[in-house]
Structures are given as structure tokens and as C-alpha cells.
Amino acid sequence: MSIMLERVSLEYPNGFRAIREVSCGIGRGERVAIIGPSGAGKTTLLRLLATALRPTTGSLNLLGADPWRLDRAGLRRLRSCIGMVHQVPPIPPRQRVVTAVLAGRLGQWPVWKSLASLIYPADIRGAGQMLARMEIADKLFERCDRLSGGQLQRVGVARVLYQQPDLILTDEPVSAVDPALSDRIIGELNREAVARGVMLVASLHAVDLALHWFPRIIGVRGGEIVFDLPPVRISDAMLRELYASESAQVPTQDNRPLETVPPGVRRRPMYS
């Protein structure tokens, strides 16, 4: 397995346990969606996989290494192999879009090239190609603080596509875009993962989007894994129970009841 968690827990200083003895493995090339109500631990789980957080207990192996037994240089190399798409991308407001996209490879380039690219973009064509996949190639030289929330999310996706990591992590990457564009963005991430044979782990709010694109779904609640199944084995009753603490309705892209979304659409993963 390229990712292995064994009884991993994370407890914050205030005593709150966000993750409770989670054990699971994800192999190279797998595409996994994580779903669950707000506060379930989805973002915390992704931050553990991104090495932004260290487990309180248990063991975590990423891409063949225990992150917390590596020296500083080794941890930096490991992190350069992990790409994270945030719900709100941590991009400096006054930065140009082209620079933000090229920042995806700063951890892979030699220091001189990284510094030079901050002054004059090192690969304008490459950045433009990734932005074209997100349908915002015209924003190449725009300042990031002049973009909408949805456009900024797409810049964050383009940056990870340009990075070409071995592990792609996405935390609600389409929360600020409409359903049609959401489908396009998640589709591009899946195509990238399939084409390069790398892992894609996505936390998604819209359950129908997860069921449609991902061959493996992990449902979490209260920091624990409730189920880990292919879409065809997940019933509407299981989903209603998963989200029972949040609302009477399972969340979908356009807030339609899940029962009205054709089963053939929502439970036939693309590229499975």
C-alpha cells in the first residue's frame, strides 16, 4: 500500500479527538472519495495525509515512508510528492495567477530556478496549459485578488495539476463553482490520476459527485470510518444514516434529493 494508517488518532490540545483509531490502506492508482457531515473529520484526515498534522497515536506510512521519522530534507522531499487542493487556496492575494500555478513545482526545482521564477515565470506555456484545463487560461497574468472564489479554486487545482504529484489530495475543491463546472473539475482530477497512475483522495460535500466519479467511497462520522465500499454497495439508507446528525437530506450538487438523481448516473464511477 502507498498509504497505510494503523489505528491513527488525532487529539487537539483542548482534548477534542478529531480522528479516532482510523485504520485503512490506499494503493497506488486508487481514487477515493471521503464523504460525511460537517465536523466528521474529513479535513483533519486529509491534513494528516498531507503531513500538515502529526498523529497523536497510531502509525502512518506515506509513499513508503513514515513522515515523522524522516529528517528535514527527507520530509521536504516527501511533501514535494504530495499535492493538496484546499477549499480556500493559500495563495498570496497580490500574486499573479501564472506565478501561483508555477509554485506547484517550487519544491522540485533547484533553488536558483525557484527564485528566478518569482521574478520572471519559468514556464508560462506550462501554466497556461493547466489553466486551459480549468477553462481560465485568459486569467494567466491576472492578479489573484481580482478573481472570484470559484476562479481561485480552479487556480489551486491547476497548480496541483502542474505539480504532477504522486498523491493528490483535495478538500472540497468545487465548493464555490456551479454543478456543471464541478463535474468538469472533478473529471479533470480523475483523468490526471488515471493517466499517471497516481492516488487521488478527495473530500467532497456533494454525495452524487462522489458516487459518480470515484470507485471507492469512505464514509466518516465522528472521526471514525463508518463504511469503506464501492458505490454500488452503498444504499440510500446508509447515506441517510451517515448524514442523520446534519439534516434530513443527503447533500448533492444542486440540493436535489438524492433519490431523484438517476441511480445509473450516481453509482457508475467514471474510469473505474
Specify the pLDDT at position 154: 96
Residue of 18, 26, 3 whose CA lies nearest to 228: 26
- Residue 129, judged by CB atoms within 10 A of its CB (0-12, 13-18, 19+), counts as middle
pTM of the model: 0.91
The CATH fold assigned to 1-81+200-272 is: Rossmann fold (3.40.50)
Specify the pLDDT at position 78: 95
Specify the pLDDT at position 272: 64
Please report, as a single letter, which amino acid is at residue 102. L
DSSP of 29-42: T-EEEEE--TTSSH
Specify the pLDDT at position 112: 46
| pLDDT tens series, the chain, 272 aa | 699 999 999 999 999 999 999 999 999 999 999 999 999 999 999 999 999 999 999 999 999 999 999 999 999 999 999 999 999 988 988 999 999 999 888 766 555 455 555 565 778 999 999 999 999 999 999 999 999 999 999 999 999 999 999 999 999 999 888 888 999 999 999 999 999 999 999 999 999 999 999 999 999 999 999 999 999 999 999 999 999 977 668 888 877 777 656 555 555 677 76
Specify the pLDDT at position 159: 95
Specify the pLDDT at position 262: 56
DSSP of 199-237: EEEEE-S-HHHHHHH-SEEEEEETTEEEEEE-GGG--HH
